[in-house]
Structures are given as structure tokens and as C-alpha cells.
Amino acid sequence: MAPSAAAGSGPLVAIYPGSFDPVTNGHLDLIRRGAKLADRLIVAVLNNTSKQPLFSVEERTGMLREATAGLDGVEVDSFDGLLVDFAERRGARAIVRGLRGISDYETERDMALLNGRLRPGLETIFLLAGEEWRFLSSRMVKEVVKLGGDVSGLVPGVVWRRLKSI
């Protein structure tokens, strides 16, 4: 079998994929920490046609770009189709994902195993959610905002400004 491109050496390009609908301070914490581990961290917004997002892919990448401006080695992109194909195109050897608790574990484990099968050598690196942000999800942010709550301490400024204007 030909060696997989994923099993290379050299600079570590890692992908942090997700819906980011919208990006929260929990995601940002992970991005900051992931950027310290990888030479380049590509935050990749999944264009998932089966989910009905609040923000378009362009809006989500725009907010992510603003929130991560000034972070060295961080890039924002989007993709559709298989993550492993996107990883191949971008020369990535690792996927970064966050674990908030047991409820994340089983799906994250299965995705990591599946991606490893689809592209041998592609590793998933799990970072524990920062203690401060373990409870936080994009879904909860959207629900609180819908009910008129203030989430200014939970999301980057650019996101809060957008949410307030909805």
C-alpha cells in the first residue's frame, strides 16, 4: 500500500472543523490552544446542508476571521464534502476537536476512528474544553438569545454585535 500523505513529517498542519454557528468563547479557547501545538491551524467551517444554520457559511467564516485576527498561524476556511478529502487537499496531518464531557465522547470517538479508516495516518487530537467553557455550545447561545438573554460574556464581540441585531 502506498504510504499515506497523512503519515508525513515536517510542519504540522492541523484542521479544527466544526459548524461554528456561531463561534463561541469555548471554540476560541480551543483555537488559541490548538494554534500553540500546530505550525498552522486551519479553522474550517463545515458547509453542512443537512443542518439549518442560523448564519451562512460566509457569515460564520467572517466572524471567525475577525475573532481570530492577530492569532499567529491561524487561518479560516470552509469546506463541504468529506473532512478527510479537505485534509488531503490542505496537506493536514491532524484534526483538532474539543471534548466538553462524556456526552461528546462517543460521537467524537466514532468520527475519529472513521476518519482514521478513511485516511490512515490522519490523527485526531482531542483537547479538553477549558473549565470555564465546558457548559457552552453554539446551540445554547442561540437559545438564550432567542429568549432575549445577554450572551456578551460567552461569545466574541463581533458575534454578540451580530446576535443583537437579529
Parallel, antiparallel or unpaired: strands 13-18 and 94-99: parallel
Closest to ligand ADP by CB, 5 vs 123, is 123
Cβ neighbour number for residue 103 with a 10 Å cutoff: 9
**Can you give 22-47 as a three-state secondary structure string?**
CCCHHHHHHHHHHHHHCCEEEEEEEC
* Known catalytic residue at 60: no
Stretch that binds ligand ADP, among 6-14, 33-41, 130-138, 141-149 (CB under 6 A): 130-138
Reduced to 3 states (helix: H, G, I; strand: E, B; else coil), residue 123 is strand
Q: Considering only residues 138, 141, 156, 160, which one is a binding residue for ligand ADP as defined by CB under 6 A?
A: 138
Q: Is 100 an active-site residue?
A: yes
Q: Residue 5: CB partners within 8 Å, gap ≥ 6?
A: 88, 91, 121
Q: Kindly state whether residue 104 participates in binding ligand ADP, applying the rule CB under 6 A.
A: yes
Is 138 marked active-site? yes
Considering only 6, 43, 129, 159, the residue that binds ligand ADP (CB under 6 A) is 129
3-state DSSP call for residue 18?
Answer: strand
Q: Specify the residue for cell string 491551524.
A: 41
Task: Indicate if 142 belongs to the active site.
Answer: no
Q: Which 3-state string (H, E, C) describes 64-118? A: HHHHHCCCCCEEEEEECCCHHHHHHHCCCCEEEEEECCHHHHHHHHHHHHHHHHH
Q: Is 86 a binder of ligand ADP (CB under 6 A)?
A: no
Positions 16 through 75 that interact with ligand ADP (CB under 6 A): 18-20, 24, 26-27, 30
Nearest CB to ligand ADP, comparing residues 7 and 132:
132
CB of 40 or CB of 47, closer to ligand ADP: 47
Which of 19, 93, 138, 162 is flagged as catalytic?
Answer: 138
Contacts to ligand ADP by CB under 6 A = 18-20, 24, 26-27, 30, 97-98, 100, 104, 129, 133, 136-138
